[in-house]
Amino acid sequence: MNRPDRPERLEDDLRNALRRQQPPLGFEARLMARLAAEPQPPSVWARVWETASAWFQAPLFARAALAGALCLLVVCGVNYEHRQVQRVRGEAAKQQLLLALRVTGSSLREVQESLRQVSADYSNAQ
């Protein structure tokens, strides 16, 4: 490994290494031409079209299996959503029912208390 003998030598080496260099003649034009020549990545629609084409080219049983799986997924999803809605509605109805029974209970308890009071007053008057 070459080690510089003197610090001045090191500086010269670094200056040479980091010196600005002009690109070769015609570099830019060649670069642009090469970029233009390279194939562009396909767009999203192109990929969708490719997938759709592949679907129609696939064997019938594969298409049927995939369609069945998709249908099953949709049915399960709809069923789950329906059950969730029913559960929320049922819980709300249950809370309403319990509230109604509490109000009923409270009203009946008050009636009983009133009757007890009337009874006590009646007994005292006797």
Partner 1 sequence: MKLLVPLFVLAACTAQAQLLKIPPSFDQLAAKADEVADVSLGPDMLGMAAAFLSDKNPDEKAAKQAVGGVKGIFVRTYKFAHEGMYSEADVELLRAQLRAPGWNCIVNVRSQKTGENTQVCFFAQKGQPGGMAIVTAKPKELAVVTIAGPIDAQHLGALEGQFGIPRIERDSKPKKQDKQDHPDE
Alpha carbons within 13 angstroms on the beta-carbon side of residue 93 total 6
Q: Which is nearer to partner 1, 47 or 94 (CB)?
A: 94
Looking only at residues 61 through 100 of this chain, which bind partner 1 when binding is defined by CB under 8 A?
86-87, 89-91, 93-94, 96-100
* Rounded CA separation 126/114 (Å): 18
Q: Fill in the per-residue mask, 22 to 61: x = in contact with partner 1 (CB under 8 A), - = not in contact.
A: ----------------------------------------
CB of 87 to partner 1, least distance (A): 8
Closest CB 109 distance from partner 1, rounded Å: 5
Of the candidates 73, 50, 52, which has an alpha carbon nearest to the alpha carbon of residue 63?
A: 52
Distance CA 110, CA 17 (A): 101
